[in-house]
Structure 1
Amino acid sequence: MQPPFLVIGNHAHTMDSFIVSSASPVHIRWVAGAYLFKLFGLRPMLERWIGAISKQQGRSDLFTIRAIGDALKQGDIVGLFPEGTRTWDGEPVGFDQAIAKLVRIFKVPVVVFHLEGFYGLKPRWADKKRKGKVYLRVFPPIMPDSIGEMSVQELHERLLADTGFSYRTWQEKNQLPYVSKKAAEGVEQVLYLCPQCKQASTIVSKGITITCTHCHYSASLDPYDKLLTTQGTHHFDDIAYWHAWERQYIATPDASSLGFPPDRGVLLQTGDEQKLITLERRFTLQMEQAGMRIKSNAGKDLFLAFENIQSMIINAKNTVELYHDNTLYRIRIFKRGCILKYVEMYQAKRKSIEGDQA
């Protein structure tokens, strides 16, 4: 098939775009997070060598849409991850109808791929890589004629189904081991609530063991990413089921009693589309019911109310990037801290606010 066309797929690993490109006989221009273009020395490489297209994650970006359109008109191949972020638990993240609308506008073929086993090789939360096999599966293209025959909703459902790779379903079918003596280490980055005692930020990991420091509930993780409860009565089959329960729980009235201890912050920045300015390197970040509070060692106090946050996403190195009253902030916490809980609490609060306004 001749270019131009779009290349889309699931997102599980930091090196996904490089892995796909290394297996591709043609050059792919990847859509990359805007924060990468702000890192010292990286912007020239992304723009001149790779030809990457900047995308401000979590926000509508007309510049990105125009840049993709221009690249396709020039006969280029553009690659993107419609989910916009790497999976935390191996299950599909999903995306809204905006992607389907773009695909209809561009009127080019769409090639879908699956990165299979990459979550098992190194989950987003994991400290260490495991030993195991991975696969890149490419599917027949969706041609413009077929795209034109579908409504936006039908196309959206088709793209969700085609790109929505489930590691759990794939693993149940293939039963491939991913081996490491430290397979569970780092899981507290995604598991922030104990299912037994309902305490927040009490989960710790060592080796293949996951433990609650409050009630001593514990489970072990096997090479197939299945959980075995070793102490306590509550049981989840895998990390994804545990994580799904967390997201559901923080959206209930019971979550109002949760008390989150402060996390140690290591980098606080603000900035614009071109550069970042460092404000603090020593501070605490704490979840409150109405927002997030930052307290510096020098005594400065900054409160970011959920209702005034326009967008919030997680990018590299345990960092959350958000717009509060249209001001950009990047907040990084220590390596084993859970930045995910802030985003999922924000999403739950925003959903509640939108429901009240409906």
Structure 2
Amino acid sequence: MFVRLVMWFFVRYFRITARIPRQVAQINEPYLLLANHFGRYDPFILSYFIGKPPHFISSDAILRDWPIGSFFKGLGAIPKKKGFRDTRVVRDMRTVVQAGGALALFPEGTRTWAGDTLYIDPAVAKLVRLLGVPVITARMQGAYAFDPRWASPLRRARVVIDYELTLTKEEVRQLTEEEAYKKITQRLSHNDIEWLRQHRVLIGSGRRAEHIGKIIFQCPQCKSFAGFKSHKNRFVCRHCQLPITIDEYGFFTAPVKLPFDNPYKWFYWQADNFITEMLKQLTLTRDTPLFEIERAVITRTKGAGRMQKMGTGSLAFYPDHLCITLPGHRITFKHRDIDYLGPQYMERLEMFEGDYAWRFTPQYPDESGVKWELAINTAWALAGQHTKLAPYWRERILQRIQRVREN
């Protein structure tokens, strides 16, 4: 009851509304909710508008954090290790459904960086058939202005959530997996940048640019990958000092003409360039790192336990390995032995290697975790470790490798 009261004020203050059919709002049987994923509070927002709250499939990175992890566990969240197929999670989901409960997950597997719906694994259609329950979809619109992945404070903007009963129980039984997958992906496909441009949503914040360096790290003027420093509504290239302002509608302005005015086009232009650069650098033999985090709090846990502090040190990316430097010792990891590397909850960089999970919290908040994810995925692709590739990067990286080899 307390959570619902808090959410009642929350959705009104942040101007979040829902278009939801009565059959969805009042559903009282087991179901599977699928939604596109923008922000930290998506599970609470999506659950608020439905009478029968679902159990969310959640990254185990969140559940390792106290107190938010304890809160999620109390709401019945089912933990999943990012980047791994886990049969235990499927068993837990079936148990919830058999007990009359509802489920929810984000089929993209991660929050969007640039406002677009990411690749959805076709395995979601197999899961739908396995569970045999109705499928509700929720398409969030405007959420990139309210809670973009790189920002810290929430912003007052305008969010509209469209709920739909996309597959009835009968359709789940009758449709092929390909037909079910097509209906799901069509419903969730969305580009929030274009939606925000069309609706001219005002962003009620004086800190619109803060921490955008977590996703934007290549300058369009000097082409450097040095990253940006951000403050309030401006961010500045660390190399050539180009200043860029984010206006009240979330679009970019600068004293020079930019090739793009939004994060979506910039992000994927940058991704292609960085993958190409990594394809060159990863084949070299060198004693200096390609890039590094010079100062970070480093923690570690075994299994699903709480993180334990190892100390303050650095993390460096070399052509064939990563190196952690802590006071008194160094630890190296070959790229081939790393199971996962990328940004997780609060955009902190996490690494899985064997039974251990490592977390790196940089001293400077504009450090980009997605840069590390792109680099390690490119290294795995070159080494033929395609099963490790993040689904949303796989095609882009493999196509880039093919183009480079053809040229």
2:141 paired residue among 116, 121, 130: 116
Q: Residue 136 of structure 1: CA displacement?
A: 2.2
Q: Secondary structure at the match of 2:161?
A: strand
Q: Residue 71 of structure 1: CA displacement?
A: 0.8
CA contact (8 A) 1:250 1:348 kept: no
Q: Residue 267 of structure 1: CA displacement?
A: 2.6
String of CA shifts for 1:255-310, please: whole Å, max 9, x gaps.
6459424342113213113x1452523001123333432111x1321223332222
String of CA shifts for 1:87-121, please: whole Å, max 9, x gaps.
22211122322222111211111000022222101
Q: Distance in 1 between matches of 2:272 and 2:149?
A: 21
1:215 and 2:256 matched: no
Q: Residue 216 of structure 1: CA displacement?
A: 2.4
Show the counterpart of 1:5. Answer: 31
Show the counterpart of 1:299. Answer: 328
Show the counterpart of 1:251. Answer: 275
Show the counterpart of 2:264. Answer: 240
Q: Distance in 2 between matches of 1:94 and 1:255?
A: 23
2:80 paired residue among 43, 55, 58: 55
Q: Secondary structure at the match of 1:265?
A: strand
Show the counterpart of 1:82. Answer: 107
Partner amino acid, structure 1, of 2:336:
E
Show the counterpart of 2:395. Answer: none
Q: Distance in 2 between matches of 1:153 and 1:308?
A: 35
Q: Residue 218 of structure 1: CA displacement?
A: 2.9
Q: Distance in 2 between matches of 1:202 and 1:30?
A: 34
1:308 paired residue among 337, 341, 344: 337
1:281 paired residue among 299, 308, 311: 311
Partner amino acid, structure 1, of 2:376:
Y
Q: Residue 313 of structure 1: CA displacement?
A: 4.2
Show the counterpart of 1:32. Answer: 58
String of CA shifts for 1:197-218, please: whole Å, max 9, x gaps.
2222331222322221212223
1:91 paired residue among 107, 111, 116: 116
- The structure-2 alpha-carbon separation of the partners of 1:43 and 1:227, relative to structure 1 and needing over 3 Å to count, comes to closer
Q: Distance in 2 between matches of 1:128 and 1:44?
A: 22
1:126 and 2:151 matched: yes
1:271 paired residue among 267, 286, 302: 302
Q: Residue 42 of structure 1: CA displacement?
A: 5.9
Q: Secondary structure at the match of 2:301?
A: strand
The more displaced of 189-198 and 249-258 is 249-258
Q: Distance in 2 between matches of 1:44 and 1:121?
A: 25
Show the counterpart of 1:21. Answer: 47
String of CA shifts for 1:190-247, please: whole Å, max 9, x gaps.
112222222223312223222212122232212222222323x542221111111121
Q: Distance in 1 between matches of 2:251 and 2:144?
A: 13
TM-score (norm 2): 0.79
Q: Distance in 1 between matches of 2:97 and 2:52?
A: 14
Show the counterpart of 2:187. Answer: 162
Structure 1 or 2: larger helix share?
2
Q: 5+ unaligned residues in a row in structure 1: which ranges?
A: none
- The structure-2 alpha-carbon separation of the partners of 1:37 and 1:325, relative to structure 1 and needing over 3 Å to count, comes to closer
Q: Distance in 1 between matches of 2:72 and 2:154?
A: 26
2:351 paired residue among 322, 338, 345: 322
Q: Distance in 2 between matches of 1:193 and 1:288?
A: 19
- The structure-2 alpha-carbon separation of the partners of 1:237 and 1:270, relative to structure 1 and needing over 3 Å to count, comes to same
1:260 paired residue among 272, 286, 291: 291
RMSD: 2.5
Partner amino acid, structure 2, of 1:316:
Y
- The structure-2 alpha-carbon separation of the partners of 1:313 and 1:68, relative to structure 1 and needing over 3 Å to count, comes to farther
Q: Among the aligned pairs, what percent are the same residue?
A: 22
CA contact (8 A) 1:293 1:303 kept: yes
The alignment of Structure 1 onto Structure 2 pairs a total of residues equal to: 353
Q: Residue 167 of structure 1: CA displacement?
A: 0.7
2:225 paired residue among 189, 200, 209: 200
Q: Secondary structure at the match of 2:308?
A: strand
1:337 paired residue among 358, 367, 379: 367
- The structure-2 alpha-carbon separation of the partners of 1:195 and 1:308, relative to structure 1 and needing over 3 Å to count, comes to farther
Partner amino acid, structure 1, of 2:144:
Y
Q: Residue 325 of structure 1: CA displacement?
A: 4.3
- The structure-2 alpha-carbon separation of the partners of 1:328 and 1:130, relative to structure 1 and needing over 3 Å to count, comes to closer
1:68 paired residue among 93, 96, 121: 93
